[in-house]
Amino acid sequence: MGTIVITGSAGGIGKATRERLSRDGHEVIGVDVRDAEVIADLSTPDGRTEMVGAVAAVSGGRIDGLVAGAGITGPDPAQVVSINYFGAVATVEGLRPLLAQGTDSSAVAISSNSSTTVVALPDELLAACLDDDEPRARELAGADPTTAYATSKLALARWVRRTAIGSDWIGSGIRLNAVAPGLIDTPLVADNLEMILNLGDVYPIPQNRPGRPAEVANLMAFLLSPDASFFCGSVVFMDGGSDAALNADAWPTSNTTAERWPARD
């Protein structure tokens, strides 16, 4: 059993994951704005730095797993981007040295299937996130929290894929992956649950129900475990079929096929 840090541990998927990992016998260090071992505000650089220091002190400088799960939606798009992308990346990067001291260490970031099911995400905002330009990203976040949320989650998924294969991560024996949940019955969507379930072809859910936090927690427990030892840079969709219904033919694209797997003579 190991020591696992969960940001966003006080509610929703984070809380369910905490409960699952605790039942499995792990020591869990929760990080949240309330009801956690480490109280932290991940919307600011100072808050993120303080969080890293506090986790290091509580854990004794060594952890075996990490869930970067803190996230929000609306009403402030700039805040959405700061927490969902910059807060998550700072968490994963800041706690990497502690993971390096752990055993069979693994980190999982929570992205979202909105990264592929919301159309026409702004390229400039995506680029500002991936360029680590938080002031510019906040400026570009606009007035629509849904777009800011989806773009921040897409940026996070891309960052995980780019980062996981590097020498600091899998090259040092630390696995980094992401999950992309769909509609999950949590307080984050409680006010809009019925509306989302009735969006039809705009946002189909073939299973005709929201997911349960405990279902995502089961996946998180697997990805953090040695059973997931060959996962590296994966983004695992868990959305009742929404992404498949909307994007069944989106991968691989014809260009990708031609460039990466050219026809043989």
Catalytic residues: 149
Q: Is 176 helix (H, G, I), strand (E, B) or coil?
A: strand
User: Residues 201, 203, 208, CA angle at the centre, nearest 5°?
Assistant: 90
24 vs 6: CA distance, rounded Å: 15
183: enclosing H helix or E strand: none
Nearest to residue 217, comparing CAs of 26, 1, 89? 26
* Of 31, 26, 2, 3, the residue nearest 15 (C-alpha): 31
DSSP-based three-state secondary structure for 177: strand
Peptide bond into 252 cis (omega under 30): yes
Q: How far is CA 126 from CA 24, 68, 70, 92, 115, in A?
A: 37, 19, 19, 19, 11
| b/e map 188-210, b = 16+ CB within 10 Å | beeeeeeeeeeeeeebbbeeeeb
